[in-house]
Structure 1
Amino acid sequence: MINTDPNSSDFNSYASIEELEAFAQARGITLPDNKESLLIKAMDYLNGINWVGKKAKLEQPLSFPRKDIVLDGYLLPSGVIPVQVVKAQCMLAIEAIAGDLLSSVRDAPIQSESIAGALSVTYAIDKSGFIPRYPAVISTLRGLVIGEGFSINCIAERG
């Protein structure tokens, strides 16, 4: 059973089935009958994301609502679940139609490496081992997540 009430102890979804249906209908996507399990799979994925801010209450079952989030220069009220998070859950639920979002082995194994004047790396052909990426989801969550994308931290000093 999907429960979208953040004040409930069994709160388990940001998006309701109705929101998922509206999201899919607007995009011409036909949903299967297992809508609840799709939302739960999407929620499992979202629970693994490193979010900015802190949980609004320590005992809350999900990551949102959160406090201390500044989004596009505005302080997000601590009791609010951003529409971007609901949309991301719907996007992931649709991705979950094709299969599991979080399988056990997701790294593409390297079959061989060599350095002889130039670097050569060969990856396994088995596509079941690749790490799934959801750039549209991460783009939707811009400003709400930590550590997505590529960055290098360094210190430059003049000698």
Structure 2
Amino acid sequence: MINTDITSGGVNSYASEEDLASFAELRGIELPEKLSPLLIKAMDYLEGLDWAGAKAEPRQPLAWPRVNVILDGHDLPSDEIPRPVITAQCMLAVEAMDGDLLSSVREAAVKTERVEGAVTMTYAVAEGEVFTPSYPAVMAILGGLAGGRGYAINSFAERA
């Protein structure tokens, strides 16, 4: 059962089933009958992020609400969940329809490119490396609220 009451010791979600249903309906996404498991999987992912500020209460069960958080130059209230966090949970819940967001074993995709008469290249995660799922759209929605799970460098190469 989903509990979004942040004053409760049993709170386990930022987004309600109604929030998720509304999010999906606006985007034309068809949801399964059971929404609770999707929201909980999304929470598992969110709880692992490096959030701005500090917990409002040291013993609260979830990362939010938080104190000392500034968004767009304004202090966020320490007794509510920011809308981008709720939206991010809904986005992740939709992603969770395809499986776990944090499974312990994930295989990297292998991509092969071949140019006739030239070179064949195959790409995959190198031995010993772990495939870490990332959700750039979620991180974009969260902006300065969360620091993520690492870093990325974007670049491109162009042949002259």
**TM-score w.r.t. length of structure 1:** 0.79
The 3 A distance-change label for structure 1 pair 78 and 106 is: same
Aligned to 2:20: 20
Aligned to 2:118: none
Three-state SS of the structure 2 residue aligned to 1:97 is helix
Matched to 2:138, the amino acid is V
1:135 equivalent to 2:121? Answer no
Conserved 8 A contact 1:53-1:67: yes
CA distance in 1, matches of 2:62, 2:37: 17
Unmatched 5+ stretches in structure 2: 110-120, 154-160
Alignment coverage as a number of residue pairs: 138
The 3 A distance-change label for structure 1 pair 124 and 75 is: closer
Aligned to 1:114: none
Runs of 4+ that moved beyond 6 A:
none
1:40 equivalent to 2:28? Answer no
Unmatched 5+ stretches in structure 1: 110-119, 152-159
The equivalences for 1:1-159 within 5 A come to 1-106=1-106, 108=108, 122-124=123-125, 130-147=131-148, 149-150=151-152
Q: CA offset at residue 90 of structure 1?
A: 0.2
RMSD of aligned alpha carbons: 2.3
Q: Which of 100-109 and 33-42 deviates more?
A: 100-109
